Amino acid sequence: NSDNSNLKWLVKELGSDCLTVPDKDGNTAVHLAAERQPVDSLQFIFEQIGVEMFSLKNNRGETPVDVVESDRCRTDQSAKRAWISTQRRLEASRPPAGSSAPTAASAGTKNQLDPSFTDWNFILQDNQKQLIGRGGFSEVYKALTDRNQTVAVKVLPLSGTGQSGKLQKAVEMEKRGVEILKRLSHPNILQFLKCEQKSDGLYIFTELVSGHSLFELMQRQNKPFKESGICSGLNFLHCQPQGAILHRDIKSSNMMLNNEGVIKLIDFGLAKEIVDTCGLSTGVDPKGTPYFMAPELFMGEENLIPYSAKTDVWAFGCTVYELTAMEPPDANVQQFRIGI
> Is 105 in contact with 87 (CB distance < 8 Å)?
yes
3-class SS of residue 15: coil
Q: Give the separation between CA 143 and CA 152, rounded to whole angstroms.
A: 6
**H or E segment and range at residue 232:** helix 230-238
| DSSP β-ladder status, 255-258 and 211-213 | antiparallel
Residue 249 annotated in active site: yes
Q: Which residues contact 228 (CB under 8 A, 6 or more apart)?
A: 15, 263
Q: Which amino acid is at 331?
A: A
> Is 46 in contact with 24 (CB distance < 8 Å)?
no
Q: Give the separation between CA 223 and CA 220, rounded to whole angstroms.
A: 8
142 annotated as ligand-binding: no
> Is 281 in contact with 328 (CB distance < 8 Å)?
no
User: Among 3, 66, 76, 249, which one carries the catalytic annotation?
Assistant: 249
Long-range pairs for 239-243: beta carbons < 8 A, 24 or more residues apart = 239/21, 239/22, 239/24, 240/273, 241/22, 241/26, 241/58, 241/59, 242/273, 242/275, 243/273, 243/274, 243/275, 243/276
Q: Is 76 left (phi over 0), alpha (psi -120 to 50) or beta?
A: left
* C-alpha distance from residue 181 to each of 17, 36, 100, 176, 319 (Å): 18, 32, 33, 9, 22
Output the known binding site for ATP.
154
Output the known binding site.
154
Q: Which residues are catalytic?
A: 249
